[in-house]
Structure 1
Amino acid sequence: MLLALMLCYSGFTALCLAMPRHHDELLGGKPSVRCRRGLSLGGWFLLGLSLWAAVAGHGWNFGLVDWFAVLMLSALALVLLLPYCPRLALTLAGLSLLTSPVAAWALN
């Protein structure tokens, strides 16, 4: 479940950075069209990987329930962190991407 949570949070952060307004607030400057497309595809890919991680950990029955819970929790965390601690939101996304291979290895 930890792997799914980290991948969901990173995916939502990538989707957030694909929006020009949030990209400007968090990183400064407007993203190019190519950057926006890459962040969108990467975000959706990470959300798909999080679904795989949840289903691989608990099967389809409980995996989908866990995945929806992780989706809500990670979206809530991002929404609460963005206005008050935007750098922390980006740092957590980067750390979750860096530590997700360790969590995937621990899953096996």
Structure 2
Amino acid sequence: MNHVLSILLCTAGFAALACAMERQQDALFGGALHGRTTIGLRITGAIALFAALGLVVAWQGWAIGLVMYSGHTSVAAGAVYCMLLR
């Protein structure tokens, strides 16, 4: 269950960070979003990634937790990348 939650948090974080980029804003929303919205997306993405890190480290400790977090971020980044390819 913790693997799924961590991967979902990482995916949400990377999706928010991707939506904060101008290129994806043009493709997804038809134009640039307001500056405060972009900053909010960046903060949300960072918080989601740190929450996933905290979850995994609390569950497995620093040694294995960081390795698991690296794997979860790789899977999540690949999923977000594939979604943006369209």
TM-score of the superposition, structure 2-length normalised? 0.90
Aligned to 1:48, what secondary structure does the other structure show? helix
RMSD of aligned Cα (Å): 1.0
Where does structure 2 lack aligned partners over 5 or more consecutive residues?
Answer: none
Q: Which residue of 1 aligns with 2:50?
A: 48
Distance 2:82 2:20 in 1: 18
Distance 1:3 1:53 in 2: 9
Q: Give the C-alpha shift of residue 35 in structure 1.
A: 0.7
Q: Which residue of 2 aligns with 1:61?
A: 63
Q: Post-superposition, which runs of at least 4 consecutive aligned residues in structure 1 deviate over 2 A?
A: none
Q: Give the C-alpha shift of residue 27 in structure 1.
A: 2.5
Identity of aligned residues (%): 36
TM-score of the superposition, structure 1-length normalised? 0.73
Amino acid at match of 1:30: A
- Which of the residues 66, 82, 85 maps onto 1:83? 85
The 10-residue stretch of structure 1 (23-32 or 57-66) with the greater mean CA deviation from structure 2 = 23-32
1:55-102 superposed Cα distances (whole Å, 9 cap, x missing partner):
122121111100000111110111112112xxxxxxxxxxxxxxxxxx
- Which of the residues 16, 19, 22 maps onto 2:21? 19
Distance 1:3 1:59 in 2: 17
Q: Which residue of 2 aligns with 1:70?
A: 72
Where does structure 1 lack aligned partners over 5 or more consecutive residues?
Answer: 85-108
Distance 2:14 2:37 in 1: 16
